[in-house]
Structure 1
Amino acid sequence: MLQQSRFSRLSGWILLVFIYYIAAASSFGGFMLKWQFSEGTRYTLPMMLDGTADRPFVYRQLLPMVANEVGALIPERVQASFLNKLAEDPPVSNPIHRYFPNASDAANPRYALRYFVVYALSFVSMFMAMFLVRAVCLEMKFDKTAATLTPLVIALIFPLIQTEGGYFYDMPELMFMALGTLLAARGKTVMLAIVTIVATLNKESYLLFLLTLMPLMMTRFSIKRTAVTTGGLLVLAALVNMAIKHKYALNNGGVIEFQLSSHLQYLLNPRNYLRTEINYGMLTTKGFNLLNLLLFALVFKTGWQGLPRHARQQGLIGIVLTVPLFIAFCYRDELRNLSFMWMTFALAVCATISVALSAAHARADNESKSQSSLEDLESRISHKQQAVATR
């Protein structure tokens, strides 16, 4: 019999951090290979940093604001040294431009430092989101193994849902949605208010996401207190929204982009359910490909019933909010715009993994019992044969 070695809590966390880091790096690398930071568009990172990008993209100001503040705080001598280092042996001396040649803005001396700041913060957001998704799964009382595996699934498929566009604020959005879900489930309303302000600076749609948190808060508070708390959070988010929209009211573009007609035409074309694209350097299905729809259906079919009631209610509110908004205002086949459903999907994945592990354990137990019964039968037969031989 193999001797079991002891596995300390510290060792477990070290391994977890390393594995999640590699998964987050893979996910972020997949995003950068496809989209960089929107070079060549009407909403490049330099335009976001300068506040000249088209609306509604310019509203997503959290990381640009942080990058601008960091740039203002770092002494000019340090910035000059950094830029000189980047220019020593291009593109080798510039790691972003070296590995992502289309990320041309990373080599622009005027924006390079702030580009690196946004680059780092975007990656850190994905890295932190993985731990937060795991914490949400544990908060919903799923077993630790399933909760630990779920963020790996979410991180690795994240570039696949950035089908027609991918943006630096997508990773913080996932992080803030996971954090908001966790805080709501724990009844941490003051912290949730702070997160609401910051998350709305990252993307204005966080205002509507707050409505999906009501069933989670109702596990801690009365209906009246939940309604008052949610109302207060909505006011906070609305104030941030109004301030940002007022600041950039004169920018090109509009507050929203109406896509209903073109989106319906797209959804009614059967050929659009067979599309493919390249992810991680290999051919994969794209968007509403039939295989993707089948996989999503399998996950929800298996995992939905395993979700706690309040998690299912959160998902239903997310569906009610998402479907009409997605069809009316979002670009065709852009799965990243189904973000209100991300936490529900993560929990469904966790429940599915839990079911699969339970089934595997049950099979292993049955096989072990069958083996034990067979060994017991063989032992009795052997004893009888020995008794006969003795006579």
Structure 2
Amino acid sequence: MSTKFHKLIYYFITLLITGFVLIMFVIYPGINNDKHSMFADMIYGKASKPFVYRTLLPTTVRVLSAAVPQRIKNLLAKKIEKTGTLSKLFSKLKWEKEYAVEYSFAMLLMFLSLWGFALAVRKYFTLFYHAPPWFAGSVSVLALLGLPPMFQYTSFLYDFPLLFLYTLGLIFLFRQDWKNFMLFFLIGCFNKETTILLTLIFYIYYRKKLNREIFNKLIAAQLAVFIVVKSLLFIVFKNNPGTFVEFHLIDHNLRLLTGYDLTLAVSLLGIILLVFYKWKEKPEYIKISLWAFVPLIALTLFLGYIDELRDYYEIYPSVIVLVSVSIADIVGLDIRKLKAL
């Protein structure tokens, strides 16, 4: 079969699975389960801090929706109200019918972000390994199918853009494509503050590899972008309810330390073993990218839900690549490690 046909099959399968994962994302646990980050409040900048700071997708939806005449929005809401199936679906999902246009744009953007992530993680894999096209494509499939077990408590509008933008950041950072890296770093900062973890990876990996002047300029540029974006968001949303961060050590995480879910523990152990399988042979860059886990787990212990796996999405692309390589080696598939840049 031709390469073009293989690509069409790959795109079809990943599009299909992307749709399936997105449906699961909005059904369980759903995007309207947290009173501090309700959909309409996120879109129109009324959500609580710190959620309202993650404004990339919400603002994009608001801009796109503003281009749709109110008359059309009203007609669509009435159409949904009169269509039994659609009305029941909106009720089940806890979606307000008057925001049907906004939900439609949000679904489209989340779909594109998730599919973009699937394509990006395949590219990330091929930066380091040469493998049969079907196996490289299976990395995308594994990345998509690995997400639903991580959907806990609530779903956030910025989750899939985070996966997409952060993976692109890892790719451009490794390729030393500084123009695109800084562009997507800037965009990523408007999506979630953990984009700054790319700076940690940059520092560890390039501190002895780059010319000192270039290194210092790039570090300064990243810090400047992050500070400016965070300051701007702080000013824009200074009157919103909530605090800069949420504290969950006492009300949630300490209880978890006295007990654990056996299934989750066994699953995580299996993943850890695959990640560290033949560790010395794994690419240096990917191993360094896992250093992002250190600040993530430290912050999550105090400010997040330590058992909420979506809090660790920043290391997910690298974990997927390492697990895929280990599986290939265990089953005897010949994949060739490429030389680092």
* Same fold by TM-score greater than 0.5: yes
- What is the correspondence of 1:1-391 to structure 2 with a 5 Å cutoff? 7-39=1-33, 41-92=35-86, 98=89, 101-105=91-95, 107-109=96-98, 111-144=99-132, 145-214=134-203, 221-262=210-251, 264-270=253-259, 272-274=260-262, 285=263, 289-302=264-277, 304-315=279-290, 317-357=291-331, 359=332
For 2:31 and 2:19, locate their aligned partners in 1 and report how far apart those are by CA, in whole Å: 16
Distance 1:164 1:360, change over 3 A: same
> Structure 2: where are the runs of 5+ without partners?
336-341
Q: Secondary structure of 2:15's partner?
A: helix
Q: Structure 2 counterpart of 1:155, which letter?
A: L
CA displacement at 1:356 relative to structure 2: 3.0
Q: Greater relative contact order: 1 or 2 (C-alpha under 8 angstroms, separation 6 or more)?
A: 2
CA contact (8 A) 1:146 1:351 kept: no
- Change in Cα spacing, 1:326 to 1:39, as seen in structure 2 (3 Å) is closer
Aligned CA distance change for structure 1 residues 291 and 223 (closer, same or farther; 3 Å): farther
Counterpart contact for 1:304–1:348, Cα < 8 Å: no
CA offsets, 1:155-214, max 9 Å, x none?
A: 112121222332121111000111101111111111111111211111122123332244
Amino acid paired to 1:139: L
Matches of 1:242 and 1:210, distance apart in 2 = 18
Contact preservation (8 Å) 2:73, 2:100? no
Give the gaps of 5 or more residues in structure 1. Answer: 1-6, 275-284, 363-391
Q: What is residue 339 of structure 2 aligned with on the other side?
A: none
- Give TM-score, length-normalised by structure 2: 0.89
Cα deviation, residue 81, structure 1: 4.6
Give the letter for the 1:108 counterpart: K
Q: Any idea what the Cα deviations from partners look like across 1:16-62, whole Å, max 9, x if unmatched?
A: 00010111112112211212222462211111122111111111111
* Letter matched to residue 36 of structure 2: R
Displacement, 1:15? 0.3
Task: State the distance in 1 between where 2:193 and 2:112 align.
Answer: 21
1:245 aligned partner, one-letter code: F
Larger Rg computed on CA atoms: 1
Q: Distance in 1 between matches of 2:202 and 2:212?
A: 13
Determine if contact 1:173/1:203 at 8 Å carries over to the other structure: yes
The secondary structure found in structure 1 opposite 2:305 is: coil
Please, what TM-score do these two structures have when normalized by structure 1? 0.78
> Does the 8 A contact of 2:33 with 2:154 survive in 1?
no
Alpha-carbon shift at residue 69 of structure 1 (Å): 0.7
For 2:8 and 2:130, how far apart are their aligned partners in 1? 22
